[in-house]
Amino acid sequence: MKRRLAPSFLVTTCALAAPGCHSTPDTTSPPPPSTVAMPTHNPPAPLPMKRKRTAPAPAFDTSAYVIAWDWSASQSLNPTDAEGHTIYTGGDDACYFETPAPPPTTPQPTGSRNVDFHPVDCPPAMNDPAWDTCAGSLLRSKKTGECVCAPLVGNPPPPPTKNVCPAGKP
């Protein structure tokens, strides 16, 4: 007795076993080795200059939260660069500015911010002790003169925290 393979099994097996038989030529293959350009060695760019911390980072204290903050009467104390980008300092004392990133191709986690980070040298103003306790936006109330640090991350971002004001800032 002769056994026969089912036609659907035979077609599927042939299609999977030999996809190159009826496919278009691969135009993404690399060029022959003789035409490949060899990369030149460029030394890495120096890392941007960090701010100078005047004291170790304090322990986190939720009693410093400011729940009732008048955002409309806030003045940003973060310096800006020549192009008008606001400069921030991170928890590692490195400085950066942000620009909008291209639209994501995949869904992002809830609460994430679609921005590109650009490291820069920290301006001398950020060596003030006020930035020892602020990784985010340092704000001053135009009404009371008090300062707070508003974090840039979190889901939802935590409320601002009481912060010392930089010296020499009216």
Closest CA to 139 of 70, 65, 61, 60: 70
pLDDT tens column, 2-25: 555 555 544 454 444 554 444 455
In a domain, 36, yes or no: no
Q: How many domains does the chain have?
A: 1
In a domain, 57, yes or no: no
Query: What is the pairing mode between strands 74-76 and 115-120?
Result: unpaired
Predicted pLDDT of residue 84? 95
Q: Report CA dihedral (58, 59, 61, 65) to the nearest 10 degrees.
A: 40
Contact in structure between 146 and 161 (CB atoms under 8 Å): no
Residue 46 — pLDDT band, cuts 50, 70, 90? low
Predicted pLDDT of residue 170? 52
In a domain, 24, yes or no: no
In a domain, 2, yes or no: no
In a domain, 152, yes or no: yes
In a domain, 169, yes or no: no
In a domain, 155, yes or no: yes
149-153, Cβ contacts within 8 angstroms, sequence gap of 24 or more: 152/88, 152/113, 153/113
pLDDT tens column, 65-101: 888 889 999 999 999 999 999 999 988 889 999 999 8
In a domain, 8, yes or no: no
Predicted pLDDT of residue 66? 87
- Its domain, for residue 124, covers 63-101+113-163
